[in-house]
Structure 1
Amino acid sequence: MSSAPHRLDAMNPRIPLALGVLVLAAGLAACSAPAADAGPTPAPTGDSEVTPVETTAPEPSTTPEAPEELSCATLISQATAEALTAEGWTTQEKEFWIADIQLTDGLLCMWADFSTASDHGQTYGFSPIDEATSEKAQDRLESEGWIRSSDADSVYYTEDPQYAIAKDDDGYGLTYQFGDGWVKFADTKQGLLLINGG
C-alpha cells in the first residue's frame, strides 16, 4: 500500500508558527526555572560543547567477524548468491559439524534446486572456533584420513581424492579451512574463496 509523500509546502502555514511559539515558551520556562536538588554547578571549562562520557572500548577480538546476520545469503559473496538464485536454486540451513563436533555458532548452507531429485548442489559453511576446539576438530579429521596441507595463514583438510564426488581444477574435493579463530567448509578447496569472513 502506498501513501502520498508529505510535502512541507502543502502544510498549513499556521502549524509551524504555533509549534515555534510552543518550543520558544518551553525553552524560556526551562531557563528561568530553578533546578531542584541539582547539586553544585560544575565550574565552566571554557568549552561550550558538552563533553561526552568516556566509555571503555571493547578489547579487540582476534576472531575475524563473520558476515553480519549470518545467513545463507550473506555467507557467500553477493555475486555468487545472485547467480545461484538466478539458476532457480534455493537454500537449506544445516548444523555445522566436523566429525562428531558440532559448532553451534556456525552455519552450513546447501544450495540446490530442491524441487527435483538430484545430487547436484553446492555446500558452504562458516563458524567461529576457539583454539582448543580447532585442534580437536583437526585431530578428528586427520584420524579419519583427511589430507592435511597448509599455507602461511591457514590449515586445510581435504577428503581423499579417490572418494571425492566433485573436484576443483586442482583435484580437491570437500575441504575445511582453519584460520585464526574461524573455520570454513566447501565442496571444493576453490569454493572456499567464495565464503565471506575469515
Structure 2
Amino acid sequence: MPASRILGAAAALVLSAILLSACAGSPEAAPEETGNAATPTAAAPDPSATPEPEPGAAEDPTCDTLIGPSVVADYESVGWTSQASPLYIGSTEIEDGLQCMWADFEGPAGDHGAMFGWAPISEDEAADAQDELVAQGWVREDDAAGVYITESAETAIAPDDEGYGMTYFFTTGYVTVSDTKQGLLLIEWPKS
C-alpha cells in the first residue's frame, strides 16, 4: 500500500476519534461529599423527559400552511407568491387572524389571484361580525356545520361556479374566509 494512502487512512482514523470524543462529551462529575449526609442532592432533570410538542399543535398558521401543500405547489408553479395581512371582518380586525393573498405580484396588474383567511373567534365576536356583514347587504346561510356569510351576488366580482363570491364561514371557535365559497374547501386549518 502506498505511503500516502496509509497516511490518509491514519489521518481519517485520528479525525474520527477526535470527533467521536468531542460528541461524547465529558462524564458528569460525582457530587461532592459535604459532610452533611442528611441533605440529599437533587438530580438534574433528564432533558429527554420533556415531551416535544406535536407538529402543528402550537404553531400559528402561515400562508403556506393555511391551505394544502399541493395547492401551494400549484400556485408556486405558475409564479404566484403570497402576501400576509391581518384578517378583517367588516371594520373589525380579528386578533390573531391571518389573511393571505396569492397572486403574481411581479407580473402585470390583473384580477387573477386567490384569497384565504382564518382566525380564532369567540361566539360573541362571531355574532357581532355576522350582524355587521348582514347589515351591509351580505347574505346569511345557516348550515349544520356553521354559518356562511357571502357577499351579495350583485357586488361579487369573481363568483365561483355556484354564483358565490367572497364568503366567510363561522363555526365553533374560528372563522375562515375565501374569495369564493368553493375556495373555503382549500383551507386546511386548524390542522387535525
The bucket for the TM-score relative to the shorter chain is 0.7 to 0.9
CA contact (8 A) 1:175 1:187 kept: yes
Aligned to 1:70: 61
Q: Does 1:126 align with 2:125?
A: no
Q: For the residues of structure 2 that align with 1:169 and 1:182, how far apart are their CA atoms? A: 26
1:158 counterpart residue number: 150
- CA distance 1:94–1:35, change in 2 (3 Å): same
Q: Which residue of 2 aligns with 1:34?
A: 33
> Counterparts of 1:172-187 in structure 2 under 5 Å?
172-187=164-179
Q: Select which of 64, 72, 82 maps to 1:81.
A: 72
Aligned sequence identity (%): 42
* Paired position in structure 2 for 1:6: none
> What TM-score, normalized by structure 1, do the two folds share?
0.70
Structure 2 match to 1:146: 138
Post-superposition Cα deviations, 1:80-106, rounded to whole Å, max 9, x if no partner, equal 111011111111112211011101301
Instruction: Return the TM-score normalized by structure 2.
Output: 0.72
Letter in 2 for 1:78: P
Structure 1 residues 79 and 34: CA distance shift in structure 2, 3 A: same
What does the per-residue CA deviation read over 1:104-136, in whole Å, with 9 as the maximum and x for residues that have no partner?
A: 301111111112111211110011112221111
Q: Deviations over 1:39-73 (max 9, x none)?
A: 4559xxxxxxx99xxx9xxxxxxxxx888342211
Question: What is the Cα deviation at residue 17 of structure 1?
Answer: 10
What is residue 10 of structure 1 aligned with on the other side?
12
- Pairwise CA RMSD of aligned residues? 3.3
Deviation at 1:16, TM superposition (A): 8.9
Q: What are structure 1's unaligned runs of at least 5 residues?
A: 1-8, 43-49, 56-64
**Which of 90, 93, 106 is 1:99 aligned to?**
90
User: Does 1:192 find its partner at 2:184?
Assistant: yes
Helix, strand or coil at the partner of 2:72: helix
**8 Å Cα contact 2:120-2:175 kept in structure 1:** yes
Cα deviation, residue 150, structure 1: 2.1
Q: Give, in whole Å, the separation in 1 of the partners of 2:151 and 2:114.
A: 16
Rounded Cα–Cα distance in structure 2 between residues aligned with 1:129 and 1:82: 29
2:6 aligns to what? none
